[in-house]
């Protein structure tokens, strides 16, 4: 009888069985020990936020069910955990799907080099991106800094993404009951049950991602290009947390979407949706080629931008108490659901960095802790974009007006009133500018400004002028330097 190799598949941001290149290769090589290691050792300041940890708990629980309780869990430094397992079970191969955060790249290179020196085979795969960051480059070999040419010239001219793989046969699994920990012992669930409202809204795990994908394809993809701008409509996929944790692969989403191409009137929306997957690829490309993206402005002229510090402004923004209803609705949606509609993300982001003149780091940090889809590449690239200091950034003079944004994209107030029930009875004419409502209108709506709902913390017109003056200094700094 031929003795089978013993192989570790290390789950990371690929918490699924289908279309998992590393897992498929491991199963073909021999008996597999499937593991997950919670690494709070090497991540530095990028330790997973509270909302993400809640999601991870649910995702690992579902993955373990799919593996018929065969998933082994660990905490600590992965190299130490792996070293012990390799020796204990005489492991001959170590498999994983690549991650692209700078701290993970550094860690993984060290682990790979150290084990290969000891004669262990280490095999890594792409299970998270449509194209590798080093594959999509300009003709001169440098990375793209503008999205449209990155996507159209780079991605769409590159070889097509690989087609999804089926789930492997998982009959030959190795277990490690003596050293692994129970899911509850990983303490991913916070002591304060602030997440209870999220449990009815989200279904972490591979099965939940399949349901979400099918629902979007059937109900949201048609009219996606326009409908995605309206937060009360169902034209958003909400796949971002599933993609971040790898419960579904971008390849599965890419090819599943293209099955819809024959639907009448869908072509424009389909191409726009695929380009949004391209934006995710662009964010990862930026993070890979500019690893200090989470900390440093890509456009150096912003290094001396006159950001201010104002704790009251920041606290009001975080709590959804700025006095601007579309901003406050977005921030309360974030707190209550762990998610925020993309159009509203742009509005609240613009308000923070351009109207309040608070550093984009403040927004990035709050989103990191509160978002279930917190993703280092997307979060960093998007905050730099809205601040005007990143690649292909929104121009500094593009300042979203929260009043006109509310009127344009939530004219009936369905979204805003859902998260600001105190404004339920105010006429839509004054919903996004309640401070301008006549006294009798406010009385009829049972609203006392400053008590039931705050006055605006800044004047929108004055703050816009201050922002333009501040951004103008970046031009002067550039000239002086």
DSSP per residue over 56-67, as a string? HHHHHHHHHHHT
Is the pLDDT at 287 greater than 50? The verdict is yes
Mean predicted confidence (pLDDT) in 432-460: 97
Contact call for residues 393 and 299 (beta carbons, < 8 A): yes
The Cα 373–Cα 103 span in angstroms is 19
Active site residue 276: yes
In angstroms, rounded to a whole number, what is the distance separating the alpha carbons of residues 327 and 463?
A: 15
For the whole model, what pTM was predicted? 0.95
Q: Pick the catalytic residue: 383, 385, 401, 433?
A: 383
Annotated catalytic residue 307: yes
Can 103 be counted among the known catalytic residues?
no
pLDDT number for residue 2:
60
Q: Considering the candidates 42, 310, 342, 428, report the single residue annotated as catalytic.
A: 342
pLDDT bucket at 479, cuts 50 / 70 / 90:
very low
Single out the residue of 67, 74, 63 nearest to residue 32, CA to CA.
Answer: 67
Catalytic option among 103, 194, 307, 435: 307
- 394 falls in which pLDDT band (50, 70, 90)? low
Q: How far is CA 228 from CA 236, 265, 278, 409, 420, in A?
A: 6, 16, 16, 10, 21
Mark whether 342 is an active-site residue. yes
Confidence grade of residue 481 (pLDDT, cut at 50, 70, 90): very low
pLDDT score of 196: 87
The residue from 317, 360, 366, 368 that is catalytic is 360
Let me know: does 269 contact 224? Beta carbons within 8 Å.
yes
| 194 counts as catalytic | no
For residue range 355-382, list pLDDT tens digits in order: 999 999 999 999 999 999 999 999 999 9
Beta strands 93-97; 30-38: pairing state = unpaired
Domains of the chain: 5-127 (3.40.50.620), 129-162+207-289 (1.25.40.80), 300-475 (1.10.579.10)
Of 161, 168, 157, the residue nearest 255 (C-alpha):
161
Res 393: pLDDT: 63
Computed over every residue of the chain, the mean pLDDT equals 95
Distances in whole angstroms, Cα of residue 158 to Cα of each of 21, 69, 276? 20, 40, 17
User: Which value, in Å, is the radius of gyration of the alpha carbons in the chain?
Assistant: 24
Q: How open is the CA angle 25-26-28, to the nearest 5 degrees?
A: 65
Instruction: Tell me which of 135, 276, 310, 435 is the catalytic residue.
Output: 276
Which of 21, 4, 16, 179 has its CA nearest to residue 96?
21
Give the whole-angstrom CA distance, residue 302 versus residue 300: 5
Instruction: List all residues 6 or more positions away from 38 whose beta carbon is below 8 Å from its beta carbon.
Output: 56, 73, 74, 75, 76, 186, 188
Please say whether the dihedral angle defined by the alpha carbons of residues 398, 401, 406 and 407, taken in this order, is positive or negative: negative
Nearest to 22 by CA among 118, 120, 165: 165
Please say if 383 is a catalytic residue.
yes
Model confidence at 466, in pLDDT bands (50, 70, 90)? very high
Rounded average pLDDT over 45-52: 95
Taking the CB of residue 113, how many other CB atoms lie within 10 A of it?
A: 10
**In the prediction, which pLDDT does 141 show?**
96
Contact (Cβ atoms closer than 8 angstroms) between residue 454 and residue 321: yes
Residues 347/249, Cβ–Cβ less than 8 Å: no
Q: Which of 114, 279, 310, 422 is catalytic?
A: 279
């Amino acid at each position: 009888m031929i003795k089978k190799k013993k192989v570790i598949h290390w789950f990371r941001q690929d918490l699924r069985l289908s279309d998992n290149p590393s897992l498929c290769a491991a199963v073909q090589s021999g008996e597999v020990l499937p593991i997950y290691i919670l690494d709070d050792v090497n991540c530095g300041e990028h330790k997973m936020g509270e909302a993400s940890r809640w999601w991870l708990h649910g995702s690992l629980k579902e993955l373990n069910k799919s593996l018929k309780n065969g998933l082994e869990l660990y905490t600590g430094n992965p190299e130490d955990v792996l070293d012990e397992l390799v020796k204990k079970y005489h492991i001959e191969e170590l498999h994983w799907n690549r991650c692209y955060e700078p701290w993970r790249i550094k860690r993984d290179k060290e682990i790979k080099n150290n084990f290969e020196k000891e004669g262990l085979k280490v095999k890594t795969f792409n299970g998270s991106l449509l194209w590798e960051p080093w594959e999509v480059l300009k003709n001169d070999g440098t990375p793209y800094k503008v999205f449209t040419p990155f996507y159209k010239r780079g991605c769409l001219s590159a070889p097509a993404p690989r087609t999804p793989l089926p789930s492997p046969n998982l009959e030959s699994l190795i277990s490690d009951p003596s050293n692994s920990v129970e899911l509850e012992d990983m303490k991913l669930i916070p002591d304060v049950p602030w997440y209870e409202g999220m449990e009815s809204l989200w279904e972490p795990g591979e099965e939940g991602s399949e349901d979400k994908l099918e629902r979007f394809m059937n109900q949201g993809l048609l009219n996606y290009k326009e409908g995605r701008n309206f937060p009360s409509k169902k034209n958003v996929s909400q796949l971002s947390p599933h993609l971040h944790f790898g419960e579904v692969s971008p390849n599965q989403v890419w090819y599943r979407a293209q099955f819809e191409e024959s639907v009448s009137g869908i072509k424009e929306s389909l191409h726009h949706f695929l380009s949004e997957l391209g934006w995710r690829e662009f964010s990862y490309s930026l993070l890979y080629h500019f690893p200090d993206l989470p900390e440093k402005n890509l456009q150096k002229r912003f290094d001396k931008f006159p950001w201010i510090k104002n704790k009251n402004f920041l606290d009001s923004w975080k709590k959804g108490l700025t006095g601007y209803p579309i901003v406050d609705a977005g921030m309360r949606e974030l707190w209550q659901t762990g998610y925020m509609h993309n159009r509203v993300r742009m509005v609240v982001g613009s308000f923070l960095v351009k109207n309040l003149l608070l550093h984009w780091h403040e927004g990035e940090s709050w989103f990191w802790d509160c978002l279930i889809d917190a993703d280092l590449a997307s979060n960093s690239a998007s905050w730099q974009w809205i601040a005007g200091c990143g690649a292909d950034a929104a121009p500094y003079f593009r300042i979203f007006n929260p009043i006109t944004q509310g009127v344009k994209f939530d004219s009936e107030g369905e979204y805003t009133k859902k998260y600001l029930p105190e404004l339920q009875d105010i006429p839509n004419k004054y919903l996004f500018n309640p401070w301008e409502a006549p006294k009798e209108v406010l009385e009829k709506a049972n609203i006392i400004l400053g008590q039931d709902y705050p006055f605006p913390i800044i004047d929108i017109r004055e703050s816009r002028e201050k922002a333009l003056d501040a951004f103008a200094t970046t031009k002067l700094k550039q000239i002086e330097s």
